[in-house]
Amino acid sequence: MNILVLNCGSSSIKYQLFDMREETVLAKGIVEKIGLKGSFLLNERHDGDKVRLEGEVLDAQAAIEYVLGVLLSPNHGSLRSMDQIQAVGHRVVHGGEAFQASVLIDQRVMADIERCIELAPLHNPANLKGIEAIASMIPKVPQVAVFDTAFHQSMPPRAYMYATPYSLYKKYGIRRYGFHGTSHRYVSEKAAEFLGRPLESLKLITAHLGNGASMSAIQNGKSVDTSMGLTPVEGLVMGTRSGDLDLGVLTFLMDKEELSLQSANSIINKHSGMLGISGISSDMREIEAAADQDNRRARLALDVYAYRARKYIGSYIAAMNGLDALVFTGGVGENSRTIRRLICQEMDYLGLEMDTERNQANPKPGDVATPASRARILIMPTNEELVIARDTLAIVGAADA
Amino acid sequence: MSSIPVEPIEAYGLSKKNRPKALFAKIGIVGCGNKGQSIALMASRNGVEVVFIELTEEKVEKAMHEMDETLSQQIDHWGMTQSEKRSILSRIRGSIDYADLAGADMVIDAILSKRREYAVEIRKSVFKRIEEHVEPHAIIATNSTTTVITELSSELEHKDRCVSLHFSTTDAESDVVEVARGLNTSDEAYARVLKFAKLVKRVAIPVEESPGLVSVRMIVVLINEACDTLMEGVATMEDIDLTLRQGLSQSLGPFELADKLGIDRITQWMENLYNEFGDIKYKANPIIKKLVRSGANGRKSGKGFYHYDASGKRLQPNLKQFGKRWN
């Protein structure tokens, strides 16, 4: 079965076409600057053939039409006819409390995703447009929605409730939802496989560190806590997001700097985090390079980043009363030796001892803890697209049977 | 650079039927003062390419410089990042040649008009010049509130494509735009303008063609009434502003608002509305006339009802107090 996986953003669409017999990627690519000047589509076939298509791409509908067009094209395509796409899986950012797992999309599901727009005004509308576009072009093909929030729906109320008036939880759904669920789920499964132990017996902390970053406490295969909240701005220090912040800071700044709602949002989402502290960049590689040159603020940024992460690890070990493995994933987690080292230093009391040489070798996947370390320290590359394809296969396969 | 082959994307469309052209890939703006600039920035911010027309090269440069400043101020106020600023400015181009409007999907007249009797004629001629350079489908719109679109479009070849499009005058972050159709405006043109409003993330408020639309008609009466209240000595200027702000949940009081809008502009609106409706309630209050005559046009000139410092911060009142404070 061939499955097309779509990740529709507000101005870009990422896609991968899987042949699920061997879980191979037939083609992948991205459409960028949709609806803007200079839009283009970049396609890469499994045999290495690459093409860049330039021209006007008005909206998600047009973008997906071109994606299908290039996949079917004689020159750069991977398919002979449209029927070779048997299902489409979509990444959907916010499923609210309505979705605990991936689902087959129907009218009711669409309506529920639409209701979650309030919680993810930037993402859910784009996700919906992608679903609608596929429905209009290849209406018979089943579609599956895979939610960023779904994996974390297993959190107990004590982890997801904020100490705000309960009426606001009932009225607007103000609570912790968490994101990156697909990634946390995938790497926790891979970690169990790697350790050769059943996931149901493990206490794991997964650290998805990319431009956005979140950590999850995973007990017996279920997310029991996660660092992102109602929105992706809570928790760890990120590229340009502040992560945890005294709420008083925001009201203080709104008053002092006369910030509008938009500016307040922008200050914590775009001007903060590693960029905000270092003043250099949101890119971890550039910050590390500057720190190597003895840039004081770059060092400070790395310190704050690692310290925050260590506090989360400590609190999640407390929450689960133990730890079997800490799992690093995401662009930074999989590649930055420095960040992993800074996070894992002086954690021996909590059972984490890093083998710095192994860490330097950066095995992907691999274990970089010392043999004596009570808990393992793993590096596990994530693959969210594959999870979406697998879920889609499982759901569509079950529906067919 | 890697050598990835580049091909036109159109060849990969699935349907052979003609795809509609991008509704608003490029817009034109005639007149790039405050209003024109804020429209240009708003459109560009949402991915639309903008060409604006000014009278001289100096004015083109001045407008570009002012827009640069505006965005820098937003960066200082955390509303934007450097890279967003660069991409916004890269989509805006100024020109003194109407021919550069060619290919625009919509052109908005945002010229400043000093006198009513000329304004209509000037705008009419602007409309005609725009029409010479754009495709028949292109929308021609005015940001003017007090001149009616039917009149402006009366001498055009394609009158059906004209609308009046009035962006909120006070606040760049405000999200409403009044859209008025004239007698000749086609449903299609009107629908496209509503789409443009949506594209630039504004809520379109459909209004019937009527001088002053909703916003200007309301605001001039409020400001006039505030001046009357002040002259009668009912309360001080600051207290009247305070009452509106705190007591009636306005973000600015009437005098602060007048200073922000520009008192010369308000006088213009008042005169236009008075000429149209003949109703005395639109006649500019003597205080307003006095301020305009003394060049106190509001925040932009450093004084209006209040004094302002260079950064636009409000200082003491500029008028002798009519009312008294009881404390």
Closest chain A residue to B74, measured at CA:
A263
> Which pLDDT tens digit goes with each residue over B226-269?
999 999 989 999 999 999 999 998 889 999 999 988 999 899 88
SS3 at position B294: coil
Query: Distance between CA A117 and CA B39 in Å, rounded?
Result: 28
Q: Which of A39, A41, A68 sits opposite B14 (nearest CB)?
A: A68
Question: Which residues are paired to A147 by β-bridges?
Answer: A92
The predicted-structure confidence for B33-60, as pLDDT tens digits, reads as follows: 888 998 999 999 887 889 999 999 999 9
Supply the DSSP symbol for B95. Answer: E
3-state secondary structure of A285: helix
Average pLDDT over every residue of A266-293: 93
Q: Does residue A137 sit at the B interface (CB-CB below 8 Å)? A: yes
The pLDDT score that the predictor gives to residue B322 is 62
SS3 A373: coil
Residue A378 has what pLDDT? Answer: 98
Chain A residues touching B77 at Cβ < 8 A: 257-259, 263
Residue matched to tokens 């890697």: B2
Contact (CB, 8 A) for B123 and B114: no
Residues B79-96: pLDDT tens digits?
788 878 888 898 899 999
Predicted model pTM: 0.76
Substitution target in B4, B78, B92 with the highest count of A β-carbons within 10 Å is B78
- Determine the Cα–Cα distance for residues A71 and A118; give it in Å rounded to an integer: 34
CA distance B95 to B78: 31
* Average pLDDT estimate for A356-374: 97
- The answer to whether the CB atoms of A42 and B47 lie below 8 A apart is no
Element (H, E) at B207: strand B203-208
Which pLDDT does position A339 carry in this prediction? 97
Under an 8 A CB cutoff, do B77 and A270 touch? no
Could you report the predicted ipTM of this complex, rounded to two decimals?
A: 0.73
| Residue type at position B176 | V
Is position A324 annotated as part of the catalytic site?
no
Are the C-beta atoms of residues B249 and B195 closer than 8 Å to each other?
no
| Per-chain mean pLDDT for chain A | 94
Banded pLDDT at A46 (limits 50, 70, 90): very high
Residues with Cβ within 8 Å of residue B236, at least 6 apart in sequence: B230, B317, B321, B322, B323, B324, B325
Given this model, what pLDDT does residue B19 score? 44
Contact predicate A90/A6, CB 8 Å: yes
Give yes or no for a cis peptide into A365 (omega within 30° of 0). Answer: yes
Out of B6, B22, B78, whose CB is closest to A259? B78
Which of A253-257, A374-378, B51-55 comes out lowest in average pLDDT? A253-257
Interface test with chain A among B9, B26, B76, B93, by most A beta carbons within 10 Å = B9
Q: Per-residue pLDDT tens for A196-232?
A: 999 999 999 999 999 899 999 999 999 999 999 999 9
Q: How far is B26 from chain A (nearest CA, A)?
A: 9
Question: For position B58, what pLDDT does the model report?
Answer: 95
pLDDT exceeds 70 at position B21:
no
Q: How far is B15 from chain A (nearest CA, A)?
A: 8
pLDDT of residue A69: 93
Q: B327 pLDDT exceeds 50?
A: no
Name the catalytic one among A148, A225, A367, A391.
Answer: A148
Q: What are phi and psi of B307, to 5 degrees?
A: -90, 150
DSSP-derived secondary structure for B48-91? -EEEEE-SSHHHHHHHHHHHHHHHHHHHHTTS--HHHHHHHHHT
Tokens of A167: 């009426």
Query: Which domains are assigned to chain B?
Result: 26-208 (3.40.50.720), 215-317 (1.10.1040.10)
3-state secondary structure string, B155-203? CCCCHHHEEEEEECCCCCCCCEEEEEECCCCCHHHHHHHHHHHHHCCCE
What pLDDT score was predicted for residue A327? 98
CATH of domain A197-379: 3.30.420.40
Separation between Cα atoms, residue A346 and residue A326, nearest integer Å: 15
Name which of A155-169, A229-243, B267-281 the model is least confident about: B267-281
End-to-end CA distance of chain A: 14
Residue-wise pLDDT tens digits, A95-130: 999 999 999 999 999 999 999 988 887 789 899 999
CA pair distance A185, A198, nearest whole angstrom: 14
A256 touches chain B (CB under 8 A): no
DSSP secondary structure, A71-103, as one string: HH-TTT-S-SSGGG--EEEEEES--TTT-SS-E
Write phi, then psi, for B108 (nearest 5 degrees). -110, 125
Count of residues for chain A?
401
| Domain boundaries A2-147, CATH class | alpha beta
Contact: B20, A262; criterion CB under 8 Å? no
Q: Which residue of A has its CA nearest to B84?
A: A270
Which residues are CB-neighbours of A158 under 8 A, at least 6 positions away? Answer: none
| E strand or H helix at B303 | none
* Among B216, B247, B251, B223, residue whose Cα is nearest residue B237: B223
pLDDT at B84: 82
Range list of β-strands (E), A307-370: 325-329, 366-367
User: Is residue A191 a contact partner of residue A200, using CB atoms and an 8 Å limit?
Assistant: no
pLDDT the model gives residue A221: 97
User: What percentage of chain A exceeds 70 in pLDDT?
Assistant: 99
Exposure of A311 in the CB half-sphere (CA atoms within 13 A): 12
The one-letter code for the residue type at B302 is: G
What residue segments make up the domains of chain A, in order of their start?
Answer: 2-147, 197-379
Same topology, domains A2-147 and A197-379? Answer is yes
